[in-house]
Chains A and B, each alone.
Chain A
Amino acid sequence: MNLLRKKLLRELMHLKGQMLAVAAVVACGISVFVSMSSVKYSLEASRERYYSRYRFADVFLQVKRAPEFYRESVSRIPGVASVSSRIVADVTLDVPGLDEPATGRLVSIPEYRTAPVLNDLFIRSGRYIEPGKPEEVIASKPFLEANGLVPGDRIGAVINGRKKQLLIVGMGLSPEYIYEVQPGAFFPDKRRFGVFWMSRSALESALDMSGAFNDLSLTLAHGASEKDVLMQLDNIFRRYGSLGAYGRSEQLSDRFIVDEIKQVGIQITFLPAVFLAVAVFLLNIVLRRIVATQRDQIAVLKAMGYSNEEVGLHYLGFAMVPTAAGAVAGTVLGAWLGRGLMNIYADFYNFAELVYLFRIEDVALSVLLSFAAALAGALGAVRSAVLLPPAEAMRPDSPALFRPGILDRPSLQKKISVPVRIIVRNLERRPLKAALSVVMISLAVAILVAGRYTYDAVDRMILVEFNEKHREDVTVVFNDPMPPGVAYNLASLDGVLEHEYYREEPVRMSFGHRMRRQSVKGLQSGEGLQRLVDKMNRQISLPSSGILLTSTLADILGVRQGDKLQIEFLQGRQLHREVEVAGTIDEILGLSAYMHIEALDRLAGDGGALNAAYLRIDSSSTSRLYSDFKNTPGVGSIMMLKALKESFDELIAESMTTSTVILTSFACVLAFAVIYNGARISLSERARELTSLRVLGMTRGEISFILLGEQVLLTLLAVPLGFFTGIGLSALLAVGLSSELYRLPLVFSAYNFLFAFTVVVIVSAVSAVAVRRRLVALDLVEVLKTRE
């Protein structure tokens, strides 16, 4: 075995604490990189494969009711590759074992599965429906699993006012519902929302839709212009109550996945960069110290005839070995984490087949990145080892240059004890090194703060969305707009304590050349059951005239307060109107446009209509009310705030917890690595000096104070800086993670800072104990006998 290699390995073992710290930091960075890369590409691949295998459509359109023969005309639009028409309806379900009503989305499928269809079904278990059996349905997997149902079970549904028993024959999944969420909701509630595929003819007869459809999906030919096709479709279907055709980018499920992939992409670059930067720093200080203590060995090696390259490579090894170990550990950990994270994603996203892609390119790239970090970290020290003239290396290092500093003013000198002066002078002498140490410790603090920030943001989200903004118990959404008189019947139900209604009008908004499909929500007050609350939890009042837009929507449209927005109603009389932007509201979730309901009625030019009711109900009457709702015709879906909150907590909070735990552990590793290495290097640099002080009569406590005091001072300086950096990182994270679907509020709890501070204190204490053990064990005589 090569002797230098043997020397390297033995000395690495000797420095194992410091080397492990470096390796751990590299491992954290690489594991984030590898896991997030694998998650990103796995999600992309799963999505791609699912979409192509099950023919996910490119363009979607919902209409009120259109004659079937239009399917033929659509297929003749240039650029359209294939078309499929369907009947889709939301109905109230009576699920066995569930008190409250659930919502089912019924989607028609051909009775005979002969020709390939768009948005095809993947039958997970059970079978496809049989012709001539109208009660048979295939139900979506998340719904069945959440309710403990299996093929063979029956479920009640109110279809077009008639109660029917549906027989579940299969468990299925569709690329259309990878993210399966109730219309109007943002988070999945698997127990209370499910998709059911049933025969076209059964739905035609149940909904009086024979010879007609209300939903169109189509794929585009290669190179076709989506924009042109959308325009043509809108022209054809305007008079059939079209809500406007849209592409995949507006398809809710796809939107969520694409955003998720984008967010994962941000994490691939962001966190590993921080960790590798810290690794570079650690390697730099550790290697410089090794080279400094081995000056004489370097000289001897050169005197023996070892070349500069051999010596340089030897010292480079001190960086390469821990980095390689970290890269290997990080890759393994990353592969494991990636797989674990994909399992969490599998809870959110219902892929027919979740592909786990562990790409060799990512491993290669991570190895490359870590070696680049090792090189960058080692460069200075290796260079100095190579350039060290052997004759000079034989001589001890010249004494460090100290100059009078701020504490050396005669007025201060008497007041400050020698140990404190030693601490301050040391920091003064190498301000850059001290500053870098502070920056690195502050990075660990910052990651801790940023790691817990998402927690605080989600807490705020829950507070605003589930407590402040919405105070109703139930939202009852009607299948079709109802005249106010009919809707008010709900209020007469026994047990309804408060009731409030809203109108929701699908419109096309435009300002200049910018256009957006959007629904306008007409509220009765904005201060009752639903209130308008922004992400900083401030209540915004509903303007009596004009329209209030979510800030993000206003940005998309490029409008400001006072601008005149063009509104084209997509239903009813389909009027083109103009409305003034009364203001904006920075909300957490989604894009919304609010108006006073009377202003909206006036704008729509009709006598008014209602789409849904918010109800606050007496808790003793809930089960009876639920059963009333289940049997009320015209009710399309029912949302329970409490249930939504629960499912939100379960799903989002769980995954947030996972990522917070990972991030927090990594930040702890980072903090420990930086603080421990800093103290170890200080000890190594100052052992002789400190031992001399012991010989001169200082106690162990006093020399510990000098050494650890410096570390404490650096850490204390780093904490506030880390808080600020953490806030900055969180702000970046908030921007990076924000989308049209949601925006994270920049809020921090005191607990967050306290937590970061506590972690740093504990980590410092542990490393202080480890270093003090070595300090106490210093051999007084031995240190003085050998030359520096």
Chain B
Amino acid sequence: MQLNASGNDSHQAVLKISGLSKTYLMGEVRVEALKNVSIEFFSGELAVLLGASGSGKSTLLNIIGGLDVPSEGRLYFNGQEITAASEAELTAYRRRSIGFVFQFYNLISSLSALENVQLVTEIADNPMPADEALRLVGLSSRLNHFPAQLSGGEQQRVAIARAVAKRPELLLCDEPTGALDYQTGKLVLEVIEKVNRELGTTTLVITHNASIAGMADRVVRLGSGEVTEDRRNLVRLTPSELVW
């Protein structure tokens, strides 16, 4: 067990979101994905965003990561307004500050594990060596394997290595265990926790699995595009202690 060390207000707000709304068209259906969301995330924090499918959590993550733009509202990253950024500035923001982990890993199948990580280290300003990133996720023996030769958990760990290799300020994980079995899912969560702990990377994990919330400093629940709950865990569990 571990004390919640990063939850106090003396920490600086890395992300500041105010009045964020997002509406989009899917086929011929109009979807209101986010409705007037305001929230802040702090440096070094590991936050879990909970919500059912369609609650708007992926949309929020995409907007935070600069992949999507809101219909209304503002987003500040380290005091700079991201919602006002140009396309080039957004690209630079993603390139420097954001690490993404996706549910379906989204590795480039034609590149090996090492090369998938190098894809990022090649364009980042101050990356860690790609092999070191893979060592961090426990894959130093599978550097030259292609995605098709790796298990789901291994692929997700490559994805995490790829996300953290650039030493991002913000690590965004979208259902990182969604496609994995229980054991493998835990292994992946351990890696995320380790990155947060050892590198101090502010980490947002979105999931529909409420059990994962136990490992977070902070739990935010979304429902129908709105924040329905925002609480701090008094005690942060290690992933191995999680049960679902």
A3-B119, A300-B108, A306-B95 known; 11 new pairs, CB 8 Å cut-off, are: A6-B110, A6-B111, A7-B108, A7-B110, A7-B111, A296-B104, A301-B119, A302-B94, A308-B91, A389-B67, A391-B67
Contact assessment for A304 and B87 in the assembled complex, using a CB-CB cutoff below 8 Å: no
List A contacts of B27 (CB < 8 A): 398
Once bound together, how far apart are the Cα atoms of A299 and B105, in whole Å? 12
Docked pose: A301 CA to B93 CA in angstroms: 13
Select which of A10, A300, A302, A304 is within 8 A of B110 by beta carbon. A10
Quick check: A4 and B110 within 8 Å, CB to CB?
A: no
Q: Could you tell me which residues of chain B, from 17 to 47, have a CB within 8 Å of some CB in chain A?
A: 26-27
Contact B111–A390 (Cβ < 8 Å)? no
Nearest B residue to A303, CB-CB: B100
Q: Does B102 contact A306, Cβ atoms closer than 8 Å?
A: no
Interchain nearest-CB distance for A719 vs B (Å): 38
B144 contacts the other chain (CB 8 A): no
B98 sits at the interface (CB 8 A): yes
Q: How far is the CB of A7 from chain B (nearest CB, A)?
A: 5
**A interface footprint on B81-104 (CB within 8 Å = 1, 0 otherwise):** 000000110011111101010101
Which one of A300, A302, A391 lies within 8 Å of B59 (CB-CB)? Answer: A391
Q: Can you sample 11 A-B contacts with CB below 8 Å?
A: A3-B119, A6-B115, A303-B65, A304-B94, A305-B93, A306-B123, A390-B67, A390-B68, A391-B62, A391-B68, A786-B104
Is A621 among interface residues, defined by CB-CB distance under 8 A? no
Most B C-beta atoms less than 10 A away, residue of A3, A296, A299, A307: A3
Instruction: Report Cα–Cα, A123/B92, bound state, in Å.
Output: 75
Q: How far apart are the CA atoms of A547 and B111 in the complex, in Å? A: 81
Interface residue? A14 (CB, 8 A): yes
In the bound complex, CA of A184 to CA of B221 (Å): 99
How many residues in B have their beta carbons less than 8 Å from beta carbons of A?
A: 34
**What total count of A-B pairs have CB within 8 Å?**
84
The answer, yes or no, to whether B177 is at the interface (CB within 8 Å) is: no
Interface of A toward B, CB cutoff 8 Å: 2-4, 6-7, 10-11, 14, 296-297, 299-308, 389-392, 394, 398, 786-787
Residues from chain B with a CB closer than 8 A to the CB of A394 are 58, 62, 67, 102
Q: What residue of chain B has the Cβ atom nearest to residue A401's Cβ? A: B27
Q: List A contacts of B68 (CB < 8 A).
A: 389-392
> Known: A297-B106, A398-B26. Is A307-B88 also a contact (CB below 8 A)?
yes
Asked if B120 CB lies within 8 Å of chain A CBs, one says yes
Interface residues of B in 104-163 (CB under 8 A from A): 104, 106, 108, 110-111, 115, 118-120, 122-124, 162
Instruction: Please name the residue on chain A nearest to B26 by beta carbon.
Output: A398
Among all A-B residue pairs, the 3 with the closest Cβ atoms: A305-B95, A391-B68, A391-B62
Question: Would you call B122 and A3 a contact (CB within 8 A)?
Answer: yes
Asked if B119 contacts A299 (CB within 8 A), the reply is: no
Q: How many Å from the CB of A4 to the closest CB on chain B? A: 7
Cβ-defined partner of A305 (8 Å) among B63, B92, B106: B92
Q: Which B residues lie within 8 Å of A300 (CB)?
A: 100, 102, 106, 108
Give bound CA distance, A114 to B166, whole Å. 86
Q: Is the CB of B120 within 8 A of A304?
A: yes
Report chain A residues within 8 Å CB of B62.
Answer: 390-391, 394
In Å, the complex CA distance between A4 and B115 comes to: 10
In the complex, A300→B103 CA distance in Å?
12
Contacting pair A305 B59 (CB below 8 A): no
Report whether B106 and A306 are in contact in the complex, using a CB–CB cutoff of 8 Å: no
Bound-state Cα–Cα, A307 to B95, Å: 9
Q: How far is the CA of A561 from the CA of B90 in the complex (A)?
A: 79
- A304 and B100 in contact, given A391-B68, A394-B67 (Cβ under 8 angstroms): yes
